[in-house]
Every structure is written in structure tokens, then in C-alpha cells.
Amino acid sequence: MDLKCLKILVLAFLVLCLAGISGAESSGEFSENEAFSDWEEGGHYDTDYGANFMSEWWYQNGDMRLVSEDGEKRNLAFFIVVTHQESPTIFYDSDLGVQLSNIATFYGLYPYGEPVAHNFTQTFVPRYDIENYIGFHLPYLDYTFPEGSRKIYGSSSEGYCLDYIYDNLQLDLVFKPRVGDTVDSAVEPVNFTTYERAYGKLEGTVVLDGKEYTVTQADGYFDHMIPYTTTQPVWEMEMHGWSWSELTTDSYQTILYAVRGPEDGYDTYTYRHLTLIDKNTGKVIAEYSGDEVSINETDWENQVAQGVTVKRPGALEVTAPRLRINVEAKSVVQFDAASYPENLLGFIDFMAFQPCTASIEYEGDIEHGSAFYEYMITDWGAFFSSP
């Protein structure tokens, strides 16, 4: 029996075992609407949404110009993700009789003209101990990864501080948003809400290979995403995956969120939302959704991940009334991360960066800039759709 067939059988077994639990909803301290309106920054529990499985992560990226004390100049793009997941059924130590919380962090580094680097680390802590690492139900973020010196804290009003040390990387940065909050949210194909502090400036220092650099210029982006499910063992079973892009030029920034349902496959989208921001004034110029947004992904490549062949696009074109964006996956890092501890359910994620040559065309005027482009495929989608 090949690996793909084995995983499908195991997944089917999991669904049958957990089916009795899938429809149950827990009672929370406050309603979903209250959670969404009052607690955008801090951590959440699965019980806040009556969820069988809930994830949340905080994402920070940056495109930086660096200079050292001896005058050496470098350009570096990066993203950092810190995550927290809860499931009262999957994350449970039956030997100890203790519910567990899953905590993970991963990053990608894109030095201009050099090879990319990345890392993924996860751990589990007892649920009763989770508040030692994350501040819950707070109007600010306070997150510390249990292993090593990796911490992100602050708020949109005061700025987010990133203290992140791993291997030969050390980031000591502050991100200060300069635009108002924007939101992406849907019920289908999966319940999720993302709070975006879409544009701002990064300040601070970076240590690479033991050498310290000062940030002289940097554009940044920050968001807080919460997907969850009340009907399935894990939310990944409700979707095929998503595409996300953030593109910044001299005058504009665009944010694309597009989510594929289980029947969509690799290149059609149930949820589509595109936001255009004037980064100099901080105002949203236009928002487009549904049929207003046309997505054309091309230059497909086959990739092997977790023993399964999947495909990813190498280029993205998005059009909406008076607006067109073009992005290419110039430098790519790949993560094969599982939500289930035994590496059975999760996602395959391709995070790309394009320096300088991505484009925004708005009302006939074209500007070029840098872009981050994420294409994610759930394990569930990979197992049940052919590349």
C-alpha cells in the first residue's frame, strides 16, 4: 500500500472516531461577535468560538535596508509567524489525563541575491500552563515561545516589538502601523477572521552571522488570523487552501485574501477579497470581493511534500475594476507542517518573495515594488485532488 492510500485510510478512521464530537459546541465566556469586536490583539481559546479545533497566528513581515557600523549595506526581507492551536480532543495526553496546547513558530529569510533560509519549530505545553506564554483576552499582544528567546509583544497603537533569536539570526525590531485596521472574514469555506495592520515602518537592528546591522529603511505588514471549525476534527478539512499576497510600491499597497473550498481544487476560489491602500495617507482607496476579483495563477510547478505530489503557481495576476497586480514567486521557502501531532493532518505552505519588480496598475498608472506571496495547500486538499 502506498503512502497516499495509507494516509487516506488513517484520515477516514480519524473522521469516524471523532464524528461524535464534531457537532458538539462548547460554551464560551463571551459570544463570537464580542470576541471579534473587543479582542483583536491578544490570544483566544477554542471555547470562545465553540470550536472543535482552533488555530491563531500572528504574522510579521518586512523588507529592509540595512547598514553595519563599517558601512556594509545589505537588503533583507523576512517573515516571522508565531502560532497557537487548541483542540480538546486531538491535543490530549491520555496517559497524564491533560489537555495540551500546541505552540509553533516559523520564519523565512530572503537576503537579496542570496539563498533563502527558514526554520519551523513546535512544542506542546499543558493547557493549564498556556497563559505563561500567551496573554489571553487582552487588547494587546504578549507572546513568548517556550523554547529559546523568541517573543513578540505590543499593540497596533503603541507598536509591535519583535525579539527573535534563532541560529545565526537575531531580530530586535519595532513595527509601527501607519494605516487603519483592515479585516478579512468568512464563514465559507472555512470560519476565519484576519485583523490586518497592513502598512507601517520597521525600526531596530538585525544580527546576521554575528554581524550587527541597523535598519535604515523598511516597509512592514502585520496581521492576526484565527481559523476554526465547529463541525470537523480540524479546520483544514473544510478547505483546499488559500492564496495571500501583500504588495507595496511607492504609493500603494494591495492585500489579497483568496480561499479555496474542498471542491475548488488548486485554481478556483470560494472567497476572494482585494484591498487597495494609499500608503501615504493610510486610507483604503478601494475594496473588491467575490466576482469583482479575477485571479489567474500560472507557471505551475509540481512539488513533492510529505510523500505526496502537489502543485504550486509561479506567477499571480489579479484584476479588479481599474486595478491589476502582478506577482512572481521569485524566492520560495516550503513548510510541511502538521496540525495533528502524528504528522497526519496539516498543510503544505509555499511562501515566496519578489523584490522590486512586482507591479500595481491602478487607473492606468503602473508602479513597481516588492511582494510577499503565499500559496497554501491543506493535507486534506492534497490527498483528495490530483495536481
**pLDDT tens digits, 110-149:** 999 999 999 999 999 999 999 999 999 999 999 999 987 8
Select from 139, 155, 152, 135 the least CA-distant residue to 37: 139
The maximal CA–CA distance of the chain, rounded, in angstroms, is 64
What is the tens place of the pLDDT at every residue in 328-378?
A: 999 999 988 654 445 557 889 999 999 999 999 999 999 999 999 999 999
Select from 243, 247, 286, 248 the least CA-distant residue to 265: 243
pLDDT of amino acid 36:
42
User: What is residue 347's three-state secondary structure?
Assistant: strand
**42-46, 224-228, 332-336: range with lowest mean pLDDT:** 332-336
In which band, very low, low, confident or very high, does the pLDDT at 37 lie, cut at 50, 70 and 90?
very low
Spatial distance between the Cα atoms of 27 and 45, rounded to a whole number of angstroms = 11
Which cell goes with 15? 473522521
- Give the mean pLDDT of 239-245: 97
**21-35, 64-78, 286-300: range with lowest mean pLDDT:** 21-35
273 vs 122, higher pLDDT: 273
Select from 368, 358, 371 the least CA-distant residue to 63: 371
Spatial distance between the Cα atoms of 161 and 171, rounded to a whole number of angstroms = 10
- Under 8 Å CB-to-CB from 208, ≥6 apart: which residues? 74, 76, 111, 168, 169, 170
CA atoms within 13 A on the CB side of 113: 3
* 193 backbone φψ class: left, alpha, beta (φ>0; ψ -120 to 50): beta
Select from 276, 260, 359, 271 the least CA-distant residue to 313: 260
Select from 124, 192, 161 the least CA-distant residue to 342: 124
CATH placement of domain 3-384: 2.40.370.10
- Give the mean pLDDT of 236-262: 97
Q: How far is CA 343 from the centre of its chain?
A: 19
Instruction: Determine contact, residues 216/298, Cβ cutoff 8 Å.
Output: no
What is the tens place of the pLDDT at every residue in 81-104?
A: 999 999 998 898 888 899 999 999
Question: What are the CA-CA distances from residue 292 to residues 33, 98, 289, 310, 341 (Å)?
Answer: 27, 48, 6, 28, 40
pLDDT of amino acid 6:
38
User: Quick count: other Cβ atoms within 10 Å of Cβ 37?
Assistant: 9
Which cell goes with 328? 512572481
pLDDT of amino acid 387:
80
Spatial distance between the Cα atoms of 190 and 238, rounded to a whole number of angstroms = 6
What's the mean per-residue pLDDT of the chain? 88
346 vs 274, higher pLDDT: 274
Instruction: Determine contact, residues 128/81, Cβ cutoff 8 Å.
Output: no
Among all chains, which residue has been given the C-alpha cell 486531538? 90
**Per-domain residue ranges of the chain:** 3-384
